[in-house]
Amino acid sequence: MKNVGGSDRAVRIIAGVALLSLFYFLPGYWKLFGLTAIPFLVTGLTQRCGINKLLGRNTCRIN
């Protein structure tokens, strides 16, 4: 069941792309910080978030 709505989804995808770009711009081991983008991109693209489910949140208008 989807629990990530339109604006929440857009914010997650934009944040994911921004964090992923850090992987290319940061030097050395700091590049790994850019990999924190993966959960944002996955939850934004699949419209499912485990943390939202645990907290009982649903930002999607139509399920």
- Cα gap 23→16, rounded to integer Å: 11
pLDDT at 63: 59
| Mean per-residue pLDDT, 52-63 | 85
Question: What is the sign, positive or negative, of the torsion defined by CA atoms of 34, 36, 40, 41?
Answer: positive
pLDDT at 23: 86
Q: Where are the domains of the chain?
A: 6-55
pLDDT digits (tens, 9 = 90+) for 1-21: 899 999 999 999 999 999 999
DSSP helix/strand/coil, 12: helix
| Mean per-residue pLDDT, 28-53 | 92
